[in-house]
């Protein structure tokens, strides 16, 4: 699920799992370890669309530098 706030969208763990193609448990691990940038509000994690794009951009840069 996503929530629109001003010009950005917040995605919850279930929404992130669907977008990333991984389990909700994996998303929580990525968020808690800082692999994916997000914030915990109460007991729930959220990440912005910008954080998701940044995650993919970092992955692209890392794969280029590995070669």
pLDDT in tens, 4-54: 776 788 999 999 999 999 999 999 999 999 999 999 989 999 999 999 999
Backbone angles phi, psi at 5, to 5 degrees: -130, 115
- The model's pTM: 0.77
Q: What angle do CA 37, 40, 45 make, to 5 degrees?
A: 75
What pLDDT is recorded for position 61? 59
Distance CA 31, CA 64 (A): 24
Q: 16-31: b or e for each residue (b if 16 or more CB lie within 10 Å)?
A: bbeebeeeeebbbebb
Higher model confidence: residue 67 or residue 56? 56
What pLDDT is recorded for position 66? 55
pLDDT at 64 over 80: no
Domain at 2-66: CATH code: 1.10.10
């Amino acid at each position: 699920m996503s929530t629109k706030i001003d010009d950005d969208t917040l995605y919850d763990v279930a929404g992130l799992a669907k977008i990333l193609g991984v389990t909700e448990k994996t998303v929580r691990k990525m968020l808690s370890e800082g692999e994916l940038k997000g914030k915990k509000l109460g007991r729930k994690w959220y990440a912005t669309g910008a954080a998701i794009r940044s995650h993919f951009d970092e992955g692209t840069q890392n794969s280029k530098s590995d070669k």
